[in-house]
Chain A
């Protein structure tokens, strides 16, 4: 009984970072990035936090960030990132960018699109996915992917 509960716990997806998502972690269709809007300075920051990282106010509320964005700048990681990188194996070069969202912030994330597609202004869409780790746990991670690909 105990073992089975433990097993269920392992299967229950956990977010790659606390407060990063809003919605049901078991239903990727329902997920979006979480943001924090400050009532005092009107800045929106990434993730659900209790203090505004701009002005320090605690008059903040959590909101869902829209799924569509535009690539503001980008690069290509030509080398395997150092440390405990959990991307596809074997390593292949991938895009990293800042994606500008309608709520007034730019999110740093991996880009799930062909390298020759990358350009400033590329339309992108939020793309959460499940990462299955060797210890049996499931982690909800995310990237942004090009709109053309996600339509396929």
Chain B
């Protein structure tokens, strides 16, 4: 199969800005092109990952870069939009139709809770079932009941991610909080608190991707990062307690979307969780990271809280998770979030992550999961 590599990465910081989405996307794209040493005129196709932006957003961003006639397609798969877009680019290159492309993730979102009419039916909104954090919290509550996971273990995830963010200039929040501050921050939906959830915000990230053959032809001199796997799945029937479900089966025993995506990604990459040096995972809320540790196979079901507590997932631990500060610190500009994870992992695999560098990182995994049970897992290796 065609080896697809990442030649360049670019990012517009995540946060809240007056900047237009066109300008943010254009900036991230230009940085990725410069990083790759590739001219815009050479790019053969592009994909835009976004959820909140209006129609023709891709075309409008592309026009700021120069109208070369190439196509751009807007892709939406909720929190997994970036994975879905990157997968399309990988498939395009593997098809032999194209060799060099741009994958762009851009988002601009209003403050506060997300607009419920985008994912919920009117009756759910009227009944008050349109609170995304309620679904995260109900998973946390059930996990606490089944496995004895504690509020302190959940807070420990937020503590680590906020602490990591201090070293990430592209994060919205770059502030360390004490465990006590986190555990005394206001409840949003019990047992999840304000300092344990991510905020929707603005941001952009971009990747220049190519076939390995084309990269050699271009005389690429940097460290090519190989896309060992890029998988997008949707939760099977009743496999995921996540908005906007209205019910779940009590008898179906389907694997969850992360288990499924991870299984497919590990099979494609030819290795498993034990071979991966660093992880960027969905931490819409702190409990979500604990769940991801288990679903990705870093530990058995029910052990995720202990892993967080014992420091295994710290930058200096044996399985570093969310070195960038995670979505809890960066915020979640939905269309840009997965490509932001890829930006971090590429930086790690290049050994260029400075104070948040994982020593000797050669393989990394990005994971996103959100509305509708949309899940993406991407594995990169140097």
Contacts and interface: CB of A to CB of B under 8 A. Distances in A.
Nearest to B139: A73
B122 interface: yes
A96 B247 contact: no
B123 A16 contact: yes
B123 A108 contact: no
B134 A77 contact: yes
A136 interface: no
Contact of B238 (A54, A75, A139): A54
Candidate in A17, A83, A107 with the most chain B CB atoms within 10 angstroms: A83
Interface in B105-141: 112-117, 120-123, 125-131, 133-134, 137-139, 141
Interface string B232-275: 00000110010001111111100000000000000000000000
Contact of A85 (B117, B125, B138, B251): B125
B216 interface: no
Contacts of A131: 126
Interface string B131-169: 101100111011001000000000000000000000000
A145 interface: no
A98 B138 contact: yes
B317 interface: no
Contacts of B246: 46-47, 107-108
Contacts of B192: 75
B248 A82 contact: no
Interface residues of B, number: 43
Contacts of A76: 187, 189-190
B360 interface: no
B186 interface: yes
B240 to A, nearest CB: 13
Interface residues of A, number: 43
A106 B252 contact: no
A78 interface: yes
A73 B134 contact: no
A79 B188 contact: yes
Contacts of B251: 43, 104
Contact of A105 (B125, B130, B188, B249): B249
Nearest to A121: B145
Nearest to A108: B246
A54 B123 CA distance: 22
Candidate in A54, A73, A75, A77 with the most chain B CB atoms within 10 angstroms: A75
Contact of B121 (A17, A78, A107, A120): A17
A105 B250 contact: yes
Interface string B213-228: 0000000000000000
Lowest 10 A-B CB distances belong to which pairs?
A75-B137, A46-B247, A73-B142, A82-B113, A83-B116, A17-B123, A54-B237, A83-B125, A75-B189, A86-B126
10 contacts: A45-B247, A53-B237, A55-B237, A73-B145, A75-B134, A75-B189, A82-B125, A83-B120, A98-B248, A105-B248
Given A98-B247, A105-B250, A108-B248, 20 more contacts: A16-B127, A53-B237, A54-B237, A75-B133, A75-B138, A75-B191, A77-B131, A77-B134, A78-B187, A78-B189, A83-B115, A86-B127, A87-B128, A94-B128, A96-B138, A98-B138, A98-B241, A98-B248, A106-B250, A109-B127
Interface of B: 112-117, 120-123, 125-131, 133-134, 137-139, 141-142, 145, 186-192, 237-238, 241, 245-252
